[in-house]
Structure 1
Amino acid sequence: MSEQAINYEELVESYENRLLNQLRSHGVDLEFLEMWVPDEDSVSSILNMAEAAGAFGVEAFVIRVNRETLPSARTAELKDALAPISDVSIEDHEDHCLVHISSIKA
């Protein structure tokens, strides 16, 4: 896939900043994430993101996640969580991974 990856940590930071500093529309720049609320658990948070994308009609996206946020040991857990609603492949890199989420069900 040649899509631009969404940086998970920057997204969460932006969300938290807007939540503290804006009264309304504290969502992020990507419209489908207006319905998304980050979770402290990265697997749940990414699953919530995929569900928001599906509800908005987005069929696919790529997210870049630091290994500190999503350790390699949790990769299978993320795949299992996403399996009922989408296809997922994970590209491993030394300090991060790229999570390719596609065929998202509405």
Structure 2
Amino acid sequence: MSEQAINYENLVASYEDRLLNQLRSHGVDLEFLEMWVPDEDSVASILNMAEAAGAFGTESFTLRVSNASLPRAKHDELRAALGPISEVEIDDHGDHCLVHISNIKA
């Protein structure tokens, strides 16, 4: 997987900042996430992100997510949530993981 990982925590912080400081276009800089709204539950939030990507026609992306946001205990829950709409691979890197989401169904 050679694509650049999207930093999940920075993405959520950017969304929240724009929500508070902009009148419209609260979305993030990545076009395929224009319809994405973060959720307090990281599994639901990442699932929403994958669904938004699929609706936009994006086939794959990689997220860098801290263990604070997505503890190892939730990795199987994330795999199960994403399974019906995509392939998912989670690579553990100590304090964070890389979530590779590919073959996203539109």
**Ranges in structure 2 where 5+ consecutive residues have no aligned partner:** none
TM-score (norm. length: structure 1): 0.99
Alpha-carbon displacement from aligned partner over 1:78-99 (angstroms, at most 9, x marks no partner): 0000000000000001100000
Match of 1:7 in 2: 7
Q: Which residue of 2 aligns with 1:77?
A: 77
Aligned to 1:103: 103
**Aligned-pair CA distance for 1:26:** 1.1
SS at match of 1:35: coil
Count residues with an aligned counterpart: 106
Question: Which residue of structure 2 lines up, in the alignment, with residue 89 of structure 1?
Answer: 89
Which portions of structure 1, spanning 4 or more consecutive aligned residues, are displaced by more than 4 angstroms? none
Q: How does 1:9-88 map to 2 (within 5 A)?
A: 9-88=9-88
Structure 1: any 5+ residue segments left out of the alignment? none
- CA–CA separation in structure 2 for the residues paired with 1:18 and 1:33: 14
The two structures, once aligned, show a CA RMSD in angstroms of 0.3
